[in-house]
Amino acid sequence: MTLKLPIYMDNHATTPVDPRVLEQMLPYFTEKFGNAASRNHSFGWTAEAAVEKAREQVAALIGADPKEIVFTSGATESNNLAVKGSALFLKDKGKHLVTSKIEHKAVLDSCRALEREGFEVTYLDPARDGLIDPAKVQAALRPDTILVSVMFANNEIGTINDVSAIGALCRERGIYFHTDAVQGLGKVPFDVNAVKADLVSITAHKMYGPKGVGALYVRRKPRVRLAPQMDGGGHERGLRSGTLNVPSIVGLGAAAELARLEMPTEMVRIKGMRDRLRARIEAAVPKAVLNGHPEKRLPGNLNLSFAYGEGESMLMALKDVAVSSGSACTSASLEPSYVLRALGIGDDLAHSSIRFGIGRFNTEEEVDFVADLVIRKVAKLRELSPLWEMVQEGIDPNTVQWAAH
Amino acid sequence: MSYSTKVIDHYENPRNVGTLDRNDPNVGTGLVGAPACGDVMKLQIRISDSGIIEDARFKTFGCGSAIASSSLVTEWVKGKSVDEAEKIKNQDIARELSLPPVKIHCSVLAEDAIKAAIADYRKKKGEAIQAPSTAGEAHAREAFDPARGA
């Protein structure tokens, strides 16, 4: 089999729509185009039935009741609705929130917005391995804490948090627990009742569904109440007004069902490819440092720092492979990844990080191609690197007093 | 981020990669930048007795634009006198490589690297050290003398 280039290995950023998902979506663009809110004709009933089926499919993936699923435009909206919606609803009960420094920006910036409204937020540091310690969450809780928001799996380093322990702490105290689960859902098992989650953010495009559609799980027992962030026709139990995006919701449902059915075999297959990639690279590249916990991570995630090689030039060297880097140079801000910085790994290693995201459509041939390419290109970049030269001469660049610039 | 064809050419075929003997009295070494900032350049020049730069070598840790900027200046300084090389401005480098605004600092660092290498050479020759560059960047050479090591 010949490889088709470029190879896509950035499945934490987004995933392609599975053709089986697309096939189920297509009729809802054309012949089944009805508005799910039209109650008085068959076009509306057909659309509504499709939406309700998708609601069941999404609920089944996370062990929820379909009535607890609220469709949204994606995880950014779900995170905004969960964080701002619960805080604003509960503002008379308390004004303190707890979250972590490695959350998605949609959670962090929602928290910042609430701080401007007079709320207080505690931002927890992850451990060096990227995990959020439940004991730290517990220590941060106060009598006026109303919401804890800690992600299920991290998008950069793939670490999977002990959300069940955090959920239990919150439930005992009657504090809402929100988890942004977009990276983990459909990849590893997640059950809202085992986790005792009150609010769960879901998106389709990280699990082979379309972009622009997602959902928020909102617990009914004990009842979780939110202040809606969108005013209008009162769709989705009044929590999210706006005509439902029927074809995309059908796609989200189909993607959730495929992910649930194939998870047992896919987890093993994808983890096998990830482990193969890691083993091949580490066998040939000295000083390749794994970022994040070695086991408690998503099956498809590999995040490595290639010390003394810079991330953006690595991406340039890997031009036939789509991966991403925590290097500053890949962002407009010139700051290295805030997630990697929060781990305390040092800016130099953050600049040298590459995130590989292996997914459903990757093959072992692709993994071998990428491993070989990485091995060759890291060697080439280190040949160019004055830091690597110092290391070869026995000088540790960390002991050099560099001038900041 | 898309790169100009010149950046890609220098990145894929870097000119004058390597190291000169830093203990050679005719070699000047400049080491600028910092690993935490994501770019470090080492630029070395060997100067003939008549004051002409006969060879230049570089090694760079940094993005494609940083590698291209240092590769380009090694080409430019060869055959120039020290005084001529000192006149190379970061704007010339940025223009030649069509660097976008967010990458201008790479050309600034390359200018600093030349100035640092020349200053090191002059120091060895016992000449007065020139005033620090006005390019707006701090220099690693003040904290780290490459001739001595760490």
**A residues 327..346 contacting B (CB < 8 A):** 327-330, 332, 334, 336, 346
> Which of A309, A312, A348 is the closest to B36 by Cβ?
A348
Q: Is A35 on the interface with B (CB under 8 A)?
A: no
> Which of A310, A346, A400 is the closest to B150 by Cβ?
A400
Q: pLDDT under 50 in chain A at which residues? A: none
CA pair distance A302, A298, nearest whole angstrom: 9
Per-residue pLDDT of chain B (150 residues; tens, 9 = 90+): 578 999 999 999 999 999 999 999 999 999 999 988 889 999 999 999 999 999 999 999 999 999 999 999 999 999 999 999 999 999 999 999 999 998 999 999 999 999 999 999 999 988 645 544 444 344 443 334 444 333
Active site residues of A: 329
* Per-residue pLDDT, A40: 95
State the best of B63, B97, B105, B115 to mutate against chain A, taking most chain A CBs within 10 Å.
B63
Structure-derived torsion over alpha carbons of residues A296, A302, A306, A312, reported in degrees to the nearest 10: -130
Element (H, E) at B42: strand B39-47
Contacts of B31 in chain A (CB under 8 A): 386
Angle at A304 between CA A187 and CA A180, to 5 degrees: 35
Order of all β-strands in the sheet with A324-325: A288-290, A301-306, A353-357, A324-325
Contacts of B61 in chain A (CB under 8 A): 308-310, 384-388
* Per-residue pLDDT, A329: 61
Nearest CA to A219 out of A238, A201, A192 is that of A192
* Per-residue pLDDT, A1: 60
Q: What is the pLDDT of residues A108-127, one digit of tens each?
A: 999 999 999 999 999 999 99
ipTM associated with this complex:
0.82
CA pair distance B18, A117, nearest whole angstrom: 57
